[in-house]
Structure 1
């Protein structure tokens, strides 16, 4: 007998469950192979040479080529920003809070992963501390870099990838909007759960718990409460 008022998936015997799982597994494996093929095509993309950009870092102005910190590859998350706001984009804040062990990509994949925002560097670094973010942050407030990378002021977020050859930097890939959550471990795990992300846009059975996107979960305030300065992270 159910002990909750929340609707539950149908209950079947083990053989019926196995048949349904096997049918789903066909689609899951097909999706995996398609993602492999997409990654193979991505590795064959051409690239475009960029002009020299100067960003602002914690220690002052820094060339984009030097943001690589000696590595040949660079991933930039272009974080949405509104100058002077106490809380910045909940999606960006929640997404980037997940990346805490970036020494692995630096040590073994010759790459670096950083945040660039259009906000003033002082505000950006203060917000970084407030929400307990551990990534390196840079500002493009005095540069056309954000706009040129399809993530200018008021334009939203983006993910850009670059390759460096000496002091010359090339742009190799870009995306924004839906799909970037595939880079996140959180949504990948939550998508395995019977109730999913519980967001109202999802195609879920009638009566499944749902709420507006960002109404609960890893929003800006929640991230700060979990990881921000002055909180117990034990």
Structure 2
């Protein structure tokens, strides 16, 4: 950061004018997101096989992961065999979700599915203080079939259950997951933003290599873990 890393100082009327212009763009973006959500509700869906995952209490059918709900959000957590600390991005993203009971009113559930063996996955969950329900697809092709193969990337998938039949209704990965996170939304409000080199920022603004300001998985464990096991 340099001494010049400050926004220009203007009078209140000038500031209000610039804010009003920006707010018009923000409102347009909000309306576009509404339109995207409307289109998402009109997407077709694809029927899924009758997968069996591994849960805290043993094998469980995908239809039973819903626990009676009709809708299910799955975060496919990256997993690397033999690593003490798993993906910091996945660990940080899922650490945000500590109160998911509000989904009950929407007939929905949100869980983590990872390629790691269930015993290792549950141990990692406790180590980092995660409070979401975890399942393993180590003995199933489910992860690979929904865009999260072994040693592969992360993903978000959404499913709808009709009786014992499960349908896949939506998928995203990469930066598509950002809209589900409050961390970047808050950081992007700050004058200096994420402070990453790829961002379009004024001259002399503080910038660091991408990911360098992210908390490590060990940092997250220090802040939030270990936890008592939570289903």
**TM score, norm. by length of structure 2:** 0.95
Does the CA-based 8 Å contact 1:74-1:113 persist in structure 2? yes
- Matching of residue 136 in structure 1 with residue 126 in structure 2: no
Q: How well do the aligned residues superpose, as a CA RMSD in angstroms?
A: 1.2
Q: CA deviation at 1:217?
A: 3.4
Which residue of structure 1 lines up, in the alignment, with residue 12 of structure 2? 14
Q: Structure with the greater relative contact order (CA < 8 A, sep ≥ 6): 1 or 2?
A: 2
Which residue of structure 2 lines up, in the alignment, with residue 158 of structure 1? 155
Which residue of structure 2 lines up, in the alignment, with residue 31 of structure 1? 29
Cα distance in 1 for residues equivalent to 2:43 and 2:24: 29
Q: 1:5 to 1:54 in 2, by over 3 A?
A: same
Cα distance in 2 for residues equivalent to 1:35 and 1:186: 18
Give the stretch that moved more between structures: 218-227 or 45-54: 218-227
Task: Give the secondary-structure state (helix, strand or coil) at the position aligned to 1:82.
Answer: coil
Cα distance in 2 for residues equivalent to 1:39 and 1:72: 19
The unaligned stretches of length 5 or more in structure 1 are none
Does the CA-based 8 Å contact 1:84-1:123 persist in structure 2? no
Give the stretch that moved more between structures: 217-226 or 95-104: 217-226
Post-superposition CA distance 1:176-207 (Å, at most 9, x none): 01131111111111111101111222111122
Cα distance in 2 for residues equivalent to 1:163 and 1:114: 14
Does the CA-based 8 Å contact 1:90-1:214 persist in structure 2? no
Which residue of structure 2 lines up, in the alignment, with residue 179 of structure 1? 176
How many pairs does the alignment contain?
226
Which residue of structure 2 lines up, in the alignment, with residue 55 of structure 1? 53
Does the CA-based 8 Å contact 1:6-1:209 persist in structure 2? no
Which residue of structure 2 lines up, in the alignment, with residue 67 of structure 1? 65
Q: CA deviation at 1:216?
A: 2.1
**TM score, norm. by length of structure 1:** 0.93
Q: CA deviation at 1:219?
A: 2.8
The unaligned stretches of length 5 or more in structure 2 are none
- Matching of residue 43 in structure 1 with residue 41 in structure 2: yes
